Amino acid sequence: MTRIDDTFARLRAENRKAFVAYVMSGDPDAETAAQIVRGLPGAGVDIIELGLPFTDPMADGATIQLAGQRALEGGMTLDGTLDIVRQLRAEDDTTPVVMMGYYNPIYSRGVDRFLEQAREAGVDGLIIVDLPPEEDAELCLPAQAAGLNFIRLATPTTDDKRLPKVLQNTSGFVYYVSITGITGAGSASAEAVGPEVARIKRSTDLPVIVGFGIKTPDAAEEIAAVADGCVVGSAIVERIGRGDSVTDVLAYVKSLADGAHRAG
């Protein structure tokens, strides 16, 4: 059982939905990013997604691309990202952290070395968007052997033929991308998402969390009501990018978390 598994077990017992928040490591700077990450649990966040900045973030829209650029220009690295996790773990040993990003920095570090360092820092799971199931031997299977969940994305174009392949080595939860396209594009609709979540749940016992296109507390509630929870990323990162204070960012996150938790 990982922290992710424990969190979903607790939420099920409480009849509550999960709220997941994404922030970019090192944005707008290392110190501020660490303050935000450490404040997320108190703002009602059940699982933290921590972006690993990368120079070629092909799945991300402009908001998260710019956040990654700010982080890289400020000197954020893989080691710096792990250090932010360690800072959280110094005061919170229960809130799961999922590192989300691309394979290149991990490959450059070396998979075995990275997994050892990630576990030591307190990372619980990985979402690596450019490693398809056909490449599970690269990182997915070693990660799970090391005790980290490997979370896969399913999308509106993941048909019934492809879905079993996506699910076969997934653990922790399934991340359903509610819209076709990059992060920050469009708005999620419960009417469209609900049947897709139900279709996925017919093929897995894992929780299904919905992300992309959620920007308001009402939208968080609406989407969480038809899934096991929701993810908000670009809308939070946008506020960080425009210079909102840590207090204001966390207040916004709390409003979203409250919305998602109303759906329970």
Query: Residues with catalytic annotation?
Result: 49, 60
Cβ contact 263:17 at 8 Å: yes
Q: How far apart are CA 241 and CA 27, in angstroms?
A: 8
Q: How far apart are CA 241 and CA 235, in angstroms?
A: 10
Cα-based distances in Å from 206 to 115, 156, 228, 246, 249: 23, 18, 9, 33, 30
Q: Is residue 33 helix, strand or coil?
A: helix
Cβ contact 63:238 at 8 Å: yes
Q: What is the DSSP letter of 6?
A: H
Q: Is residue 61 helix, strand or coil?
A: coil
Q: How deeply is 181 buried, as exposed, middle or buried, from its count of CB atoms within 10 A (0-12, 13-18, 19+)?
A: middle
